[in-house]
Structure 1
Amino acid sequence: MTDLDAHSWVATTYTSLADLLASADEVWDSPSLCEEWQVRHVVAHVTMPVRLTPEAFGAEMAAARGDFSTMSNTVAARDAALPVGTLVAQLRSPRLHTWEPPGGGADGAVSHAVIHSLDVTVALDRPTVAPTEAVVSVLERIVAAQGGWFGVDLAEVRLEATDLDWSWGAGEVIRTDSGRLVTLVSGRTLPDGQRLAKVGATARS
């Protein structure tokens, strides 16, 4: 994957998410797969780079005493109240499409866009908006890390995608579409309650 590929995938993901949400006013207050966040909170979170300059980001982090999770939750809670039209426009922003998380590079930008877009589309039972190549790229990166990014136990699991020719691992078979596989290995719980156990858990759900 080149940086050009990554930025193209990110742009497509966010633009397609904007297209979906622009015509679905009723879903903005629906729960997402992010715990305690509605759809509007997820969008406010991913569009944060459009609104915050490096100086403003630093000020927010200082106010949160250096805790990124606290800062992220504070900004999402506040900016989720922005008009829907503003948030949709920010999803279409070229600034967002070329943004890369500090230390994460282009790969991190793709992971951020794909995972959070799925937090919305899977929760709403809508089609995946990220390009297939981007979804597979994220899957490959997470399983290569043995689920370590999200503390998911993949030691005795075989993942099989139902919408493309992709599989990984050995053990208990988990079969679903590639987007839902990403959400599972990202530590999310699907709307039907399916999830993967965390490392150290005594039983798998």
Structure 2
Amino acid sequence: MGMIADERRRLADLVESLSSEQLRTRSLCEAWTVKEVVGHLVAAVAGSNGAALLLLVRSGFNIHRANARLAAQMAARPAGELAAMLRANAENPFRPPIVGYPGQLTDLQVHGQDIRRPLGLPHDLQPERLRVSLDFLVGGRAVGFVPKRRPAGLRFEATDLDWSWGSGPLVRGAGEAVMLALTGRHAAFADLSGEGVAELLSRTK
């Protein structure tokens, strides 16, 4: 929970540092701008449950469509307000089912890179937090993050962390790139090497 709270505060600092043009930049989540990604992360802890349920109903119970609409609604607020909401909810103890706190931490780290990479900003990820997310993504509980078949039969090695997992054709690279590739971000594949990279890429299409 302490890691999550700190990541929310760091994201708030980042949001306040961005220009209007940067906030309008297309993120690695291709359907969302940088500001809409921030809106999604704010909505996860600061949105009204009743409003979220109503949007889900109006979206035909399609959770991805409802999520996109909720993110867009949040993103209509001023950036400073979104940053303030992140800080106000930094220590919000909400624990989502199945994915739990590791899922929340991973959501913050992955979406943080969805923002930073297109803007050419350093990732500034903390090794111990990145390790938690890598363990989560290959651990079978990452519902909505990684289909179970995606990492199956492959070996992953982080070149900048004491972390590896699996057996089979190798996928090797910095922990940040491995995390993003596991979650289907094609922009990270250029930073990977090994005979398993092509197979992993084929599983993200």
Which bracket does the TM-score occupy, shorter chain normalised? Answer: 0.7 to 0.9
Q: Which runs of 5+ in 2 are unaligned?
A: 192-196
The question of whether the paired residues in 1 share the 8 Å contact of 2:181 and 2:189 is answered with: no
Distance 2:204 2:122 in 1: 33
Identity rate of aligned residues, in percent?
29
C-alpha RMSD of the superposition: 2.8
Deviation of residue 116 (structure 1)?
Answer: 1.7
In the alignment, which residue of structure 2 is the partner of 1:13?
Answer: 7
Moved segments of 4+, more than 6 Å? none
What is the identity, as a one-letter code, of the residue corresponding to 1:13? E
Alignment of 1:140-151 (within 5 A): 140-145=135-140, 149-151=145-147
Deviation of residue 173 (structure 1)?
Answer: 3.4
Deviation of residue 167 (structure 1)?
Answer: 2.2
Change over 3 Å in CA distance of 1:104–1:156 after alignment to 2? closer
What is the identity, as a one-letter code, of the residue corresponding to 1:177? A
Distance 2:119 2:95 in 1: 27
The question of whether the paired residues in 2 share the 8 Å contact of 1:32 and 1:123 is answered with: yes
2:61 pairs, out of 57, 62, 66, with 66
Residue 85 (structure 2) pairs with residue 90 (structure 1):
yes
Deviation of residue 83 (structure 1)?
Answer: 0.9
Deviation of residue 40 (structure 1)?
Answer: 0.7
What is the identity, as a one-letter code, of the residue corresponding to 2:179? V
Comparing 39-48 and 148-157, the one that deviates more: 148-157
What is the identity, as a one-letter code, of the residue corresponding to 1:31? R
Distance 1:170 1:91 in 2: 39
Residue 181 (structure 2) pairs with residue 184 (structure 1):
yes
Distance 1:91 1:200 in 2: 31
In the alignment, which residue of structure 1 is the partner of 2:201?
Answer: 197
Highest relative contact order (Cα 8 Å, sep 6+), 1 or 2?
1
Change over 3 Å in CA distance of 1:88–1:146 after alignment to 2? closer
What is the identity, as a one-letter code, of the residue corresponding to 2:52? F
What is the identity, as a one-letter code, of the residue corresponding to 2:172? R
In the alignment, which residue of structure 2 is the partner of 1:42?
Answer: 37
Deviation of residue 14 (structure 1)?
Answer: 1.7
SS of alignment partner, residue 15 of structure 1: helix
1:23 pairs, out of 17, 23, 28, with 17
What is the identity, as a one-letter code, of the residue corresponding to 2:151? L
In the alignment, which residue of structure 2 is the partner of 1:32?
Answer: 27
Comparing 187-196 and 86-95, the one that deviates more: 187-196
Comparing 142-151 and 31-40, the one that deviates more: 142-151
